[in-house]
Chain A
């Protein structure tokens, strides 16, 4: 008999970054059942972590009730990563890679990856770069069509201070000639980034480098629309029907692009009565995820249609 586990686990990415994670598994009769049961790696959103409210906090126990395991990771984008400079979007896929390596070495072979919000864009980038045979599918929750375009539009809407163009100009000046290796990075604040007020909760904080690779016009890996076509594993897009951060068309358009690229195993679901966080309607969100995984397990090669 294998006991139920809720363990804090640490391991390193290939570049040495220390990843904190939470492993949650049910009680099993034997090891074979443990390793065959779907394991869902979960990647947080902006400034998130494995205890952040909403999906990161609520989904693992809900999946556990349905017998599914979770591995919730804090990537380098977690907590203060984007603010203190180590949260470089492009490098964060090393953290997903290391999570899969860790689970694979443990013996898990039925792995799914769920990304929430920023995490969805990160997972999409990862999957466009790596084809891991142990990864059976992706769940992209509240996935923006393009992180740079999304912020540009939002900052314009709220008349941010500084504007998107001003940030870009400063970033170019500070980070030239090589943004990735620039060693004179700085933190900056964007006021009126989420609403027309100077309230701290409506501000955004980055360093010029973290902004450059996540939100800047040249952040090519954060433009999910440009790389989603290369994803070959099954994809489930979920989005709250009342999402106030990502527009309704964004998931639909991404799903369409996956389908038209030849990957017919793509599903799109809107979760009713939920905003950006689908776990605002936990029953429907869980049912959608669990049904999709179950269907893949039973019919791994079946082609589903893009549907709402």
Chain B
């Protein structure tokens, strides 16, 4: 049975475009129950054809939830051609939210995976006044580093990365001084043994000094999820794989504690028997999100 319609779209944005795949659920529902819609944000070097952005929307659509999976400026090559700066994604998400409101949606959920969690948590923390941003109703955060810079530093130290975190920091300071954001001196860097104990491509990370500075550097405040958690007032669902070798499962628990301690009464942290990509547990992941959405937005 056909349960969704999929459309490739380009949302005009600032003289350019935001590419996206929209998945409209056509499962029969009351008109009032066609909401909320979920915005999916990709992970490291990802795009809407990959990973959870690709497998979650059809699962959600079967349960009656529509989705839009977007490519932000951090998608694909953003990190290593220098334009993938985390803070610059905020106006892009703003544009997508406006686009969805123009389509008639008034309840919007943000969902981020891995690096994408830094984007959605940052967004939810600065658009946290319901009187100004009433359409933002919840955040789903999958495989969330407690702090992207700390998480990366720990991993690189553990694996003996080449160059080390400290070396990259020293070089970045030198090249980007005095103003990293406006510096015109930037270049591509490779970090070997960053994701595993070999020099193979899958264990290598690629940045420019600038994109590294704002995502992974010690001064990348916007990428420290725990600082964002304190400011988020809407429901949060954290999901973490027990066997994740990129994000330590403890980080999920710690983040939930931060949010609860800050007074957010609707924080859920759930674990599945999966690794960082949730491979093999796609349906289980989808079911968790569907139950969470149903309880809050559909009275089921």
A residues near B (Cβ < 8 Å) are 6-8, 20, 22, 47, 49, 51, 74, 79-80, 83-85, 183-189, 191, 198-201, 203, 205, 207
Contact = CB atoms under 8 A, between A and B. Distances in A.
9 contacts: A51-B19, A183-B200, A186-B192, A186-B200, A189-B190, A200-B81, A200-B186, A201-B81, A205-B206
Residue of A189, A191, A200, A201 with most partner-chain B CB within 10 A: A200
B188 A8 contact: no
Residue of B187, B199, B201, B202 with most partner-chain A CB within 10 A: B201
Given A79-B47, A200-B82, A201-B81, A189 B188 contact: yes
A180 B259 CA distance: 50
A84 B202 contact: yes
Contacts of A203: 187-188
B43 to A, nearest CB: 13
B21 interface: yes
Contact of B188 (A7, A22, A205): A205
Contacts, number: 69
Interface residues of B, number: 29
A69 B272 CA distance: 44
B8 A184 contact: no
B261 interface: no
Nearest to B10: A51
Residue of B6, B77, B82 with most partner-chain A CB within 10 A: B77
A198 B186 CA distance: 7
A291 B200 CA distance: 48
A184 B81 contact: no
B204 interface: yes
Given A80-B45, A185-B200, 8 more contacts: A6-B8, A51-B8, A186-B199, A187-B206, A198-B186, A199-B186, A201-B82, A203-B188
Contact of A188 (B47, B49, B186, B190): B190
10 nearest interchain CB pairs? A85-B201, A200-B82, A198-B187, A200-B188, A203-B188, A200-B208, A186-B199, A200-B81, A84-B201, A187-B204
B188 A184 contact: no
- Interface majority SS (helix, strand, loop, mixed), chain A: mixed
A47 B187 contact: no
Contacts of A8: 6, 8, 21
A186 B82 contact: no
Contacts of A49: 76
Interface string B166-193: 0000000000000000000111111010
B82 A83 contact: no
B213 interface: no
B19 to A, nearest CB: 5
Contacts of A187: 190, 201, 204, 206
Nearest to B185: A198
Residue of A183, A203, A207 with most partner-chain B CB within 10 A: A203
A61 to B, nearest CB: 11
Interface in B196-211: 198-202, 204, 206, 208
B7 interface: yes
Interface in B207-245: 208
A84 B46 CA distance: 12
Contacts of B6: 7-8
B156 interface: no
Contacts of B200: 85, 183-186
Contacts of B206: 83, 187, 205
Contacts of A20: 49
